[in-house]
Amino acid sequence: MPISLSEATRKLLAGELLGRKSFGEIKGGQIRLSSPAARRLFHFLLSSDKIKVAAGSEELFDGLIAAWNNAPLDPASQ
């Protein structure tokens, strides 16, 4: 049974394994954001302006660096 986007997001922010089975020509796979830094970057991008994220806006760069360096924050513990 497929999971919702919000459940997939929750799992990734929690550092849990997210997987999907193959379906027809679409390969299955798995992903886990295993480090706090990866989870912080994902959290930052989720909370950023979606248009800027989709465009890869340079305006996000300072926020990405700040999120990367914010070692005390781990979205998995929230």
- Given a contact cutoff of 8 angstroms between Cβ atoms, the answer to whether 22 and 28 are in contact is yes
User: Is 63 domain-assigned?
Assistant: yes
User: Is 77 domain-assigned?
Assistant: no
User: Is 12 domain-assigned?
Assistant: yes
Answer yes or no: do 42 and 24 share one domain: no
Q: Which residue range forms the structural domain that includes residue 46?
A: 35-72
Section 40-58 average pLDDT: 97
Does residue 1 register a pLDDT over 70? no
C-alpha 32/C-alpha 67 separation (Å) is: 18
Answer yes or no: do 27 and 45 share one domain: no
Answer yes or no: do 27 and 50 share one domain: no
Answer yes or no: do 61 and 42 share one domain: yes
Please state the domain count of the chain.
2
**pLDDT band at 47; cut points 50, 70, 90:** very high
User: Is 78 domain-assigned?
Assistant: no
C-alpha dist (Å) from residue 12 to 4, 24, 66? 12, 25, 20
Portion of the chain with pLDDT greater than 70, in percent: 99
**Interior angle at CA 51, CA 69 and CA 4, nearest 5:** 80
